[in-house]
Amino acid sequence: MESENSSTKASYIAPWESAFDKVSTPFEEFIHNQTSSGIVLMVATIIALVLANSIYAESYHHFIDTKLSIGFDDFVLEKSLHHWINDGLMALFFFLVGLEIKSEILVGELSSVRNAILPIVAAIGGMAIPAGLYVMLVPNGDGALGWAIPMATDIAFAVGVLVLLGKRAPASLMMFLVALAIVDDLGAVIIIALFYTDTISVSALIVVGVSFAILIAFNLFGVRSPLPYFLIGVILRFAMLKSGVHATLAGVLVALTIPAMPKYNASVFIDHMSSLLAKFRSAHRDGISIMRNFKQRSVLQAMENGIHKVETPLQRLEHSFHIPVGFFIIPIFALVNAGIPIDFASLDQIITHPITLAIIVSLIGGKFLGIFGAVFIVVKLGWAKLPTGVALRHIAGASLLAGIGFTMAIFIAELAFVGQAEALLMAKTGVLIASLLAGIAGSVWLLMCKPVELSDLMVDNNNEES
């Protein structure tokens, strides 16, 4: 048991704390490692594939098709587990996407026109060329609905691969790929809203508009608590669901209204904390636990409030959502969507199926041609410059890694081929094969790339100055 004497020590260590730290510390390091979410996603994908191709396949599909309902009295909402995950949990994923888009525009690589040109142009090329290639390969029929599938890039997988490559992948290359993927996500959200919608309900859209206006008003009135935004966000999402526009857009709209300005600036915060620290020091009494020191507890509460005021709600929510989305929502999505039955006897027929082949070619070849080609053109024309420490050979490797479509590509496939089991199976197979090949090709390419030499950087700087 804890004792009063423990308060006199510099720091208190619980009886079992050291033993627990031996387990918890490595786990916490794993959770906060940038590659970890990609590893968990990969494991979830493998589990789904194993289950779908084992004696448990029937139980697996029965489980994801299980009906779940919520409601009261006459209002009952009943959907399959698969539907709840794809249209429910994924709303939080798109909320995080919206937060990242806003953050990147305000303070990231997209915050200045000069820095934003390269990833924006690269992302546009990386969306347009794959979509065009797919349409060329599957111009007609129901399969043509999948034209947007190869436009996506899975940021968790792609960045995870770059981190694993270590020094072979410059830090600035990772920043470029992250910015590109965020623009890519924005493009995917717009495409989903415009092209994968049902019949439009004007009355529901009016509710969406009013809800969004209220959220903007919250921002303008300086409302910093996330609760009001989430409450109105729920209304906005249900209205979006009824409107016919895909509800994923709701998460992005809510995220864009989250305040991005701190209540205190750095100078005010420093003065405030210095004053509080002085009060905390003057209230200190040797041998008295802080549990019994009311003044110190009050000062600590004021410090906590001050920390919240110097941190923007946007940053706080983005940080809070990264772990649950990366380690729970996305892996769960993979677990229920990546379970593809593979018939090895007819694998050659599956791979050569028009939809499968089009996705493989478009994700790997289209992404490479679109991204590398766009970067090559704007750099040679002098409209933009490569990030520090990055050469065109590194851009080529990143262009291959961008072919890892996975999460967003499978999500779009689910929207494109509703009620078309065979087409959906071919699309998912194509996404998985393309993502695997793109990951291998990009990794091998970057491993063979030599780092940019200091002399190369000096030449580039001299050319820029002249």
Token pair 């979830």: residue: 44
- 322-346 pLDDT, tens digit each: 888 888 888 898 898 888 888 777 7
Which CATH number characterizes residue 68's domain?
A: 1.20.1530.10
What does the pLDDT average to over 155-177?
Answer: 79
Q: What is the pLDDT of residue 455?
A: 44
- Domain region containing 87: 17-196+246-261+312-465
What does the pLDDT average to over 270-295?
Answer: 85
Assigned domain for 280 exists: yes
- For residue 99, pLDDT over 80 is answered with yes
- For residue 71, pLDDT over 80 is answered with no
The Cα-based distances of 15 to 21, 22, 211, 239, 388 in angstroms read 12, 14, 52, 53, 50
- 398-419 pLDDT, tens digit each: 999 999 988 889 889 988 898 8
- 11-45 pLDDT, tens digit each: 666 766 666 566 566 655 545 555 677 788 888 98
- d(CA 280, CA 299) in angstroms, rounded, equals 6
Assigned domain for 8 exists: no
Q: What is the pLDDT of residue 23?
A: 55
11-20, 254-263, 266-275, 295-304: range with lowest mean pLDDT? 11-20
Provide the mean pLDDT of the chain: 84
What does the pLDDT average to over 277-299?
Answer: 85
pLDDT, greater one: 88 or 52: 52
Query: Do 355 and 451 have their domain in common?
Result: yes
Q: What is the pLDDT of residue 219?
A: 93
Query: Do 449 and 398 have their domain in common?
Result: yes
Query: Do 325 and 431 have their domain in common?
Result: yes
Query: Do 255 and 275 have their domain in common?
Result: no
What does the pLDDT average to over 47-56?
Answer: 91
Query: Do 279 and 369 have their domain in common?
Result: no
Query: Do 297 and 440 have their domain in common?
Result: no
What does the pLDDT average to over 238-249?
Answer: 78
Query: Do 254 and 276 have their domain in common?
Result: no
Q: What is the pLDDT of residue 465?
A: 45
Assigned domain for 209 exists: no
Residue whose C-alpha is closest to residue 135's, from 366, 352, 349? 366
Query: Do 183 and 122 have their domain in common?
Result: yes
Q: Which helix (H) or strand (E) holds 34?
A: none
Assigned domain for 41 exists: yes
Q: What is the pLDDT of residue 466?
A: 44
Query: Do 402 and 272 have their domain in common?
Result: no
Structure tokens at 179: 């910015």
Assigned domain for 213 exists: no
Assigned domain for 356 exists: yes
Assigned domain for 212 exists: no
Q: How large a percentage of the chain has pLDDT more than 90?
A: 30
Q: What is the pLDDT of residue 247?
A: 72
**464 confidence band (pLDDT: 50, 70, 90):** very low
**86 confidence band (pLDDT: 50, 70, 90):** confident
44-58, 110-124, 152-166, 434-448: range with lowest mean pLDDT? 152-166
pTM of the predicted model as reported, rounded to 2 decimal places = 0.77
Query: Do 359 and 459 have their domain in common?
Result: yes
- For residue 132, pLDDT over 90 is answered with yes
Query: Do 289 and 344 have their domain in common?
Result: no
Total domains, the chain: 2
Assigned domain for 3 exists: no
**2 confidence band (pLDDT: 50, 70, 90):** low
Q: For residue 435, give every residue at least 6 positions away whose Cβ sits within 8 Å of its Cβ, in sequence order, or none.
A: 154, 157, 363, 403, 404, 405, 406, 409
- For residue 458, pLDDT over 50 is answered with no
What does the pLDDT average to over 131-145?
Answer: 91
Q: What is the pLDDT of residue 363?
A: 95
- For residue 9, pLDDT over 60 is answered with no
Q: With 0-12 CB in 10 A as exposed, 13-18 as middle and 19+ as buried, what is 265?
A: exposed
- For residue 461, pLDDT over 50 is answered with no
What does the pLDDT average to over 347-372?
Answer: 92
Provide the residue type at 126 as one letter: G
What does the pLDDT average to over 180-187?
Answer: 85
- d(CA 455, CA 184) in angstroms, rounded, equals 34
Query: Do 420 and 344 have their domain in common?
Result: yes
**90 confidence band (pLDDT: 50, 70, 90):** confident
Q: What is the pLDDT of residue 337?
A: 85
3-state secondary structure (DSSP) of residue 79: strand
Provide the residue type at 269 as one letter: F
What does the pLDDT average to over 98-105?
Answer: 86
